[in-house]
Amino acid sequence: MKKVNVLTMFKNYFVLILIIFATDLAIAQNPNQLIYEGNKSYKKQDMQTAMNKYNEALKIQPNNKKALYNLGNALYKDALTLKYSNNLAMNVNNKDSIAQLMLQRSAELFTAAAQLYKNKDSLQNVYHNLGNAYLFQKKYDEAISAYKKALKLNPNDEDTRYNLAFALKQKKDNKGGGGSNNQQQQQQQKQQQQQINQEQAERMLQTLIQKEKELQNKKEQQPAGRPQKPEKDW
């Protein structure tokens, strides 16, 4: 029987461990792989894991347009869920302020991504979602500007056209009444408008979630790292 060299076995085992570790490290350092993993979590509605993966990709490659865009989408969706969900588990203090900060960060990410995308369709999607992020912050001028840029790239996009009209109306309605309105009337109008805005936002969010579910099967075939389809079905 051939003798077993324990030292040789140990060396071989050690080399194997190093190879496995190096392989795992290489995968972990691959931005496209991280984006792919983030996309899988996104489809499962696990936004926190998705955002962590996109952030890891950005630490390696800060100007990765796909990571910027997808992180913006995840933050945007998570912000609306936090802001308008009736789930008691999400009933945290200052949730509106937290959601606003998330929407602000989402807008910053979309703005950064817009500087990097050259493809016309992708850039149109980025500007559309940028408009959405501004709209929910009630930054109507910025939202209108973003929607107009999106329509310039794709004049036939009915979703963007609708959102632009909605933003223009909101801007007009929020300018305030004339001098003949007393303070009580203005306050009542403001409360009514806030209720309308919340109902509209909740409807938009429910439509967004439903559309996301319908698109999941199609997304299964997309290549690793490809940007998510924008959530713009209001």
Residue spans of the domains in the chain: they are 6-81+92-174
Give the residue, 13 or 76, on which the prediction is more confident: 76
Q: Which residues contact 211 (CB under 8 A, 6 or more apart)?
A: 231, 233
Q: Which residues contact 151 (CB under 8 A, 6 or more apart)?
A: 157, 160, 161, 164
Could you report the per-residue pLDDT of 123-175, keeping only the tens digit for each?
Answer: 999 999 999 999 999 999 999 999 999 999 999 999 999 999 999 999 988 87
Range ranked top by mean pLDDT from 30-39, 195-204, 206-215: 30-39
pLDDT of the residue at 174: 83
Q: Which CATH superfamily is domain 6-81+92-174 in?
A: Tetratricopeptide repeat domain (1.25.40.10)
Could you report the per-residue pLDDT of 84-95, keeping only the tens digit for each?
Answer: 877 655 556 678
Contact 66, 95 (CB under 8 A): no
pLDDT of the residue at 180: 43
Task: Name the nearest CA neighbour of 69 among 231, 233, 234.
Answer: 231
pLDDT of the residue at 227: 39
pTM for the structure as a whole: 0.66
What's the chain's length in residues? Answer: 234
Contact 76, 54 (CB under 8 A): no
Could you report the per-residue pLDDT of 36-92, keeping only the tens digit for each?
Answer: 999 999 999 999 999 999 999 999 999 999 999 999 999 999 999 888 877 655 556
- Averaged pLDDT of the chain: 76
DSSP code, position 177 = -
- Evaluate if residue 228 carries a pLDDT over 50: no
Residues 191-196 have a mean pLDDT of 52
